A and B are shown apart, each in its own frame.
Chain A
Amino acid sequence: MAVIIYTFPANAVKDVRNPPLNTQSALGAEQYPTCAISGLPGVLATATSWLVCEALWPDRASADAPTAEIHLSVYADHSLATVDDHNGALREQGIFAATLFAQQPGLLTWLRPHSAFGVEYLGLRWVVPRASLETELERLAAAIADLAGEPPHRVA
């Protein structure tokens, strides 16, 4: 895998209440609050933290990092970009509400807002062992499908 993205109907996150508000963060500084996660429905209550940000600037995790991240967007109008080290190919995928996504650590990657009018990204984030990233992603996709009442579309 390089990047895997599933989209769910927006009602998959309709019961995500009391998300943290991004009021005081500095421009570009991402936040990982953990408040109110335990009260979320179903598998959402198992998230490691929220991710609140305007953008994630280009960065790359070590390819042999012991952990990897899985994200479920709650409120977003962004694109996720990754660059292939070997041929320089840049892939960009839209990230909107109720999009579940993960990528193999080690690629140069970033998340950018589409416009000045909706810069806030809010989502849930799971930190999982690198070795079980794909298994965990499939497990989460199935559990979120139960919440949504229908299966997701795999778009990448």
Chain B
Amino acid sequence: MNSHTSLPRALRRIRLEPPALSRLIAPARALDLAESWEIEVERIDELEGLPLPRLDLLDWLGCIQAHPHSDPSWSQYTFVTLALQAHHTFELMHAPGKVSSMSVRPGDLFAFQPEKLHWLRADGDVGFLSLQWAIPRDDFREVYREIRRGLADAGLRSAKVPTALSSWKATIGEEWL
């Protein structure tokens, strides 16, 4: 019942350690996105000099919170989200009425399929700011490996976090590594 393997693959979480995170400087125009009522997205500007792989697939994404929605126009992509500023809970309905739940803090990296119903709840007064790769699903394995390799140089570590399953919700724990 409480086996880690029963988690949907989409919500495994990885965390970027603080020294690596501190090298990712958000410009003012990106910080503004975190104060937006609706989700706002802006292309990465290569002049921002982010030490990250696959800048060609990367956007800034920010909002105060996001009510339940799906993104059908992105159904051929998998989103990989790296939170820079966050004190939120991300949840995704992976089957009718069944929900995966995960706290999101700065440095967390997670993948999900955007055509599934998902939402982002604010747990505090901090706006949400992330870097998000939109990876064509046909190329996911290859591109994701490329991103992981690039992030490893920036201090990425996999996180093993406790999981609690109820009859309808799988909660990925809050524990810091």
Instruction: Check B67 against A87 for contact (C-beta < 8 Å).
Output: no
Place the interface of chain B in its size category.
Answer: 20 to 34
Residues of A within 8 A of B4 (CB): none
Q: How far is the CB of A63 from chain B (nearest CB, A)?
A: 9
Instruction: Check A110 against B68 for contact (C-beta < 8 Å).
Output: yes
Q: Does A58 contact B (CB under 8 A)?
A: yes
Instruction: Check B122 against A83 for contact (C-beta < 8 Å).
Output: no
Q: How far is the CB of A156 from chain B (nearest CB, A)?
A: 19
Place the interface of chain A in its size category.
Answer: 20 to 34
Question: Helix, strand, loop or mixed for chain A's interface?
Answer: loop
Alpha-carbon distance between A83 and B124 when the two chains are bound, in angstroms: 27
Instruction: Check B99 against A116 for contact (C-beta < 8 Å).
Output: no
Supposing A90-B117, A116-B37 touch, asked if A107 and B97 sit within 8 A by C-beta, the answer is: yes
Interface hits, A60-105 → B, CB 8 Å:
60, 81, 83-88, 90
Instruction: Check B119 against A108 for contact (C-beta < 8 Å).
Output: no
Interface string of B111-137 (1 = CB under 8 A from A): 000000101011111000000000000
Q: How far is the CB of A26 from chain B (nearest CB, A)?
A: 7
Alpha-carbon distance between A129 and B158 when the two chains are bound, in angstroms: 47
Q: Does B93 contact A (CB under 8 A)?
A: yes
The residue in A55, A57, A60 that gathers the most chain B C-beta atoms within 10 A of its C-beta is A57
Instruction: Check A108 against B97 for contact (C-beta < 8 Å).
Output: yes
Alpha-carbon distance between A112 and B68 when the two chains are bound, in angstroms: 8
Interface hits, B25-67 → A, CB 8 Å:
37-38, 64-65, 67
Q: Does A27 contact B (CB under 8 A)?
A: yes
Extra 6 A-B pairs, beta carbons < 8 Å, given A26-B124, A81-B68: A27-B122, A58-B91, A83-B93, A86-B96, A108-B93, A108-B99
A interface residues (Cβ-Cβ under 8 A, vs B): 26-28, 55, 57-58, 60, 81, 83-88, 90, 107-108, 110, 112-113, 116
B interface residues (Cβ-Cβ under 8 A, vs A): 37-38, 64-65, 67-68, 91, 93, 95-97, 99, 117, 119, 121-125, 168
